[in-house]
Structure 1
Amino acid sequence: MNKLMKSSTIAALVLAAGTLTTVAMVAPGLNPVAGPTYTVAAASAVVDHGAFDKLLKKHVSAQGLVDYKGFKADEQAFDQYLAMLSKNPPAASWSKNEQMAYWINAYNAYTIRLVLDHYPVQSIKDIGSKIKVPFVTTPWAIKFFSIGGEKTSLDNIEHGILRKKFDDPRIHFALVCASISCPRLRNEAFTASELEKQLEDQARDFVNDPTKNKIGKSTAQLSKYFDWYKGDWEKNGQSVAKWVNRYSKTKMSTSAKVGYLDYNWNLNKQ
């Protein structure tokens, strides 16, 4: 999840008057020309995330803690939802919010799937030590699922698509890496119609959580997210302090002394 562990690039090529879109994504340490691609039709039905919503309501607490054994018990329904995601990548005809909701849900759902594949584990980082793939040393770089028929990874979704294409730092409040110091996993799916409200709610919840940020006027100890992704927070004339103050009940001074809290990688399990 830090800059060394999680980085990727994306290139998009629109073909044949927009009828097909091919997206190439490169995981860290891999030959760029060997990066996975997926091809989607310019028009397709928008994915319904209702099945994921039901599972989240059933197996995720209000505090964002996950009943992984419960997901395991409902594995058939969960895998059916993942199969639907895999076969129906966003199309050019989808709205921005429809695409963002798809990719955020995909990241969170496939993160749960990755944990289930190796459960029980104390931390998602433990999965990295089990990887036997050349040049792949972190769980986020594993190409363990397919989108549009091509193998891809969590890194590809976060860095290659969401950060590159949509340029909205609030995604960092929505993507959940299955760890205690991550943002709270919502016990509902993200949807296009509610996306703005959901992102704002995630931001307020994360910034004002004293286990993740300790904010005072003259001093603040912030989540490592604000350090790891500083470039995102500083785009378009913004700053870490401006983003924090946008949501924090306690406002930081622009001259506040800022430090960063240790990150708790323990699994976000019930």
Structure 2
Amino acid sequence: MQSRLLLTFHLVFAAFILLVSSTVFAAPKADLWSYWQSSNEANSMPINHQLWQQTLNRHIVQQGDQTLFSYNQVDQEGKWQLDRYVREMSKINPLKYRKAEQFAYWVNLYNALTVQLIVDNYPIKSITKIGGLFSFGPWDDDVVTVNGKKLTLNDIEHRILRPIWQDNRIHYAVNCASLGCPNLQVHAFTASNSDHLLDLAAKQFINSKKGVISTNNKTQLSSIYDWYQADFGNTAQLQRHLNQYRTTPVTLKNIDYDYDWALNEAK
């Protein structure tokens, strides 16, 4: 009887974990945190992202249409450099800068924090394994404090970037350390290169198999287009968006969605 009860418990627990894993990652809606809306457009001073660029230079590895990250090669000096970059960014008041500087600031900070989470928990097979027992990844964990405000990755993406800039290319810029995610760009974002990098990231992703696979009978799309349908619009609008960047135009039909949560690790 005891063994049967134990088996039943394990089965129920496994079913619960499966349910949690499949439902917790429901894409958050864009929900403006109005505190972060203001800017100083008269300030032409740039924010220095050189430390983040140095981390990218050392650890980004290009393999086919993937940019992978050599987490296993990050030594103590590399960890210190990454920590220093995050600390320096946390001391900045982004509201004192113009919007273009703020955009680059938030994208770089998001990506650096994601890499830092992986490095601090390495070795790990997926970012979804970080967090508490009943959490699906670290996106709702406090990871940085800016202007005295504790921020999560979800705050940065869904309460700052998406609602303030309202640009669906943001989904190609923030990286979740997974093979299914749009590439972590080899260049740090800046006020002057952000628009170019957004277009480049969109083109890379939409022309890759992790973005779009089209056959005669069906289309497999990244789950990003399912999770964030509100940002990409209906099927006709999404098709126009994709074909803006596709080298070969696609006709969307019999759509399936897929996403690979395996770590984007260069081994």
TM-score band by shorter chain is 0.7 to 0.9
Indicate the SS of the match to 1:243: helix
Q: In the alignment, what sits opposite 1:36?
A: none
Q: In the alignment, what sits opposite 2:81?
A: 77
Of 220, 237, 240, the residue aligned with 1:239 is: 237
Gaps of 5+ in 2: 1-22
Letter in 2 for 1:11: W
Task: Report sequence identity in percent.
Answer: 33
1:137 CA displacement? 5.5
Distance 2:168 2:176 in 1: 16
State whether residues 140 and 154 of structure 2, in contact with CA within 8 Å, keep that contact through their aligned partners in structure 1.
yes
State whether residues 227 and 260 of structure 1, in contact with CA within 8 Å, keep that contact through their aligned partners in structure 2.
no
Q: In the alignment, what sits opposite 1:264?
A: 260
Distance 2:49 2:67 in 1: 18
Letter in 2 for 1:243: H
Q: In the alignment, what sits opposite 1:110?
A: 113
Report the TM-score when normalising by structure 2: 0.80
Q: In the alignment, what sits opposite 2:9?
A: none
Q: Can you list the C-alpha shifts for 1:7-47, whole angstroms capped at 9, x where unaligned?
A: 563332xxxxxxxxx349xxxxxxxxxxxxxx999987532
Q: In the alignment, what sits opposite 1:191?
A: 190
Q: In the alignment, what sits opposite 1:248?
A: 246
1:48 CA displacement? 0.6
Indicate the SS of the match to 2:220: strand
Higher helix share: 2
Q: In the alignment, what sits opposite 1:124?
A: 127
State whether residues 176 and 184 of structure 1, in contact with CA within 8 Å, keep that contact through their aligned partners in structure 2.
yes
Pair 1:49-2:45 in alignment: no
Aligned CA distance change for structure 1 residues 148 and 70 (closer, same or farther; 3 Å) = farther
State whether residues 226 and 257 of structure 2, in contact with CA within 8 Å, keep that contact through their aligned partners in structure 1.
no
Indicate the SS of the match to 2:33: strand
Indicate the SS of the match to 1:175: coil
Of 66, 69, 83, the residue aligned with 1:66 is: 69
Letter in 1 for 2:258: D
1:238 CA displacement? 7.4
Q: In the alignment, what sits opposite 1:223?
A: 222
State whether residues 223 and 261 of structure 1, in contact with CA within 8 Å, keep that contact through their aligned partners in structure 2.
yes
Distance 2:47 2:121 in 1: 27
Give RMSD over aligned pairs.
2.8
Q: In the alignment, what sits opposite 1:35?
A: none
Distance 2:121 2:31 in 1: 27
Q: Can you list the C-alpha shifts for 1:208-255, whole angstroms capped at 9, x where unaligned?
A: 0123311357642111111111110129x97111111111112123xx
State whether residues 212 and 261 of structure 1, in contact with CA within 8 Å, keep that contact through their aligned partners in structure 2.
no
Indicate the SS of the match to 1:10: coil
Letter in 1 for 2:243: N
Q: In the alignment, what sits opposite 1:34?
A: none
1:128 CA displacement? 3.0
Letter in 1 for 2:184: L
State whether residues 174 and 185 of structure 1, in contact with CA within 8 Å, keep that contact through their aligned partners in structure 2.
yes
Pair 1:11-2:7 in alignment: no
Aligned CA distance change for structure 1 residues 41 and 109 (closer, same or farther; 3 Å) = same
Aligned residues: 239
Indicate the SS of the match to 1:128: coil
1:188 CA displacement? 1.8
